[in-house]
Amino acid sequence: MATHGTRPRRAMTPSYEFGSVARSEDFPVGSQVTSSRNGLVEATDNWWYSPQCMLLFADLAIRPYAADGTTPPGDLQKAVDEARAGTIFALGLADFVGAESWMRLVHPREQAPDIRIMYVDDSGPKGSHAMRTLRPR
């Protein structure tokens, strides 16, 4: 299964620093991500989407209100605005590392964070490919 698109790969160390790249405690490609509070992996835990899909979902969520000329409820508008902001961050991360990023909205039962974002690091041998997160140095 292909894990990267047609975006040209860029060096992992650009001229300015956008963020550091985690090298440990990451998730190997194909692994389950356990994020439920009780440690169980549930079906929704693997519903990861590309940022572009997330933008389309956000537009679909408020399209009925735009069609009616009405204002979306405050909670919905806030959720859409923050999902879009998370998507912009994910797209920036993808450009920075020159790889795809993937994201998942976190259910309130998991409390935090609001969104999980990872990128595909396939720069090394196939066995070392992994989904990685951004971490402070």
Asked if the bond preceding 64 is cis, omega within 30° of 0, the reply is: no
| Dihedral pair phi/psi, residue 121, rounded to 5° | -105, 100
Query: In the complex, what is the shortest distance from the CB of residue 24 to other proteins, in angstroms, rounded to a whole number?
Result: 11
Please say which residue, 65 or 89, places its beta carbon nearer to other proteins.
Answer: 89
The answer to whether the beta carbons of residues 131 and 48 sit under 8 Å apart is no
Q: Terminus-to-terminus CA distance in the chain, angstroms? A: 32
Query: In the complex, what is the shortest distance from the CB of residue 103 to other proteins, in angstroms, rounded to a whole number?
Result: 11
The answer to whether the beta carbons of residues 101 and 86 sit under 8 Å apart is no
Please say which residue, 27 or 65, places its beta carbon nearer to other proteins.
Answer: 27
Q: Which residues bind other proteins (CB under 8 A)?
A: 1-7, 16-19, 22, 25, 27, 29-33, 46, 48, 50-53, 55, 78, 81-82, 85-86, 88-89, 91-92, 95-96, 100, 102, 112-115, 117, 120, 131, 133-136
